[in-house]
Structure 1
Amino acid sequence: MAYEIPVTQARAELAELINRVVYGGERVVVTRHGKPLVALVSAADLERLEKDEVAEQGQVVSSVSSIGSTASAPGERHRFGIAAEHRGHCGPDA
């Protein structure tokens, strides 16, 4: 759970908040009118979060790529009752 602090108080206590984040391992959420505005996290936390984000994006791309390369099973059109077949552009006089 992160420590929440209003932006006006955070301005006055910035040095102390930095110490809490860096040396105490805390995460601080700065709020305005009770709503989260920004978060203070250590550089190590940020690096880990960014690595996790890149890894997640890679997993999504890999999953989507494997779905797109799946070939249709033989007889699938008949099994699902698909009667029409796309054969390119057909104009009114085709």
Structure 2
Amino acid sequence: MAYEIPVTQARAELAELINRVVYGGEHVVVTRHGKPLVALVSAADLQRLEALREAEGERVVSSVSAVGAVSSAPGEQRRFGIAAEHRGPETRS
């Protein structure tokens, strides 16, 4: 669980909070009016978070790129007031 501290107190104790994060392995959540504002995490934790985000983005891209052309269900164009349809590139002989 993360240690929570109001922003006004965090300002006064920044050096101590940095030590808690770096040497104590803690996560510190800075709050304003009781609501989370920012979090202090170690640089190593930040690198892990960024790697997870990057891996997740790659999974989404591969999933989306695997989706082929999808045609509208009959009547959907009328239902949503769509007047045109994209048919893709035409092949010419």
| Matched residue, 1:6 | 6
1: CA distance, partners of 2:86 / 2:20: 66
SS of the equivalent of 2:45 reads: helix
- In structure 2, stretches of 5+ residues that fail to align are 75-84, 88-93
Please tell me whether residue 67 in structure 1 is matched to residue 67 in structure 2.
yes
Q: Alignment length, in residue pairs?
A: 77
- In structure 1, stretches of 5+ residues that fail to align are 72-79, 89-94
1:67: how far off? Answer: 1.8
Normalised by the length of structure 2, the TM-score is 0.73
1: CA distance, partners of 2:67 / 2:30: 42
1:68: how far off? Answer: 2.5
The 1:64–1:16 alpha-carbon spacing in structure 2 relative to 1, beyond 3 Å, is same
| Matched residue, 2:45 | 45
Q: Structure 1 vs Structure 2: percent identity of aligned residues?
A: 76
Normalised by the length of structure 1, the TM-score is 0.72
Please tell me whether residue 18 in structure 1 is matched to residue 18 in structure 2.
yes
Amino acid at match of 2:15: A
Runs of 4+ more than 6 Å apart: none
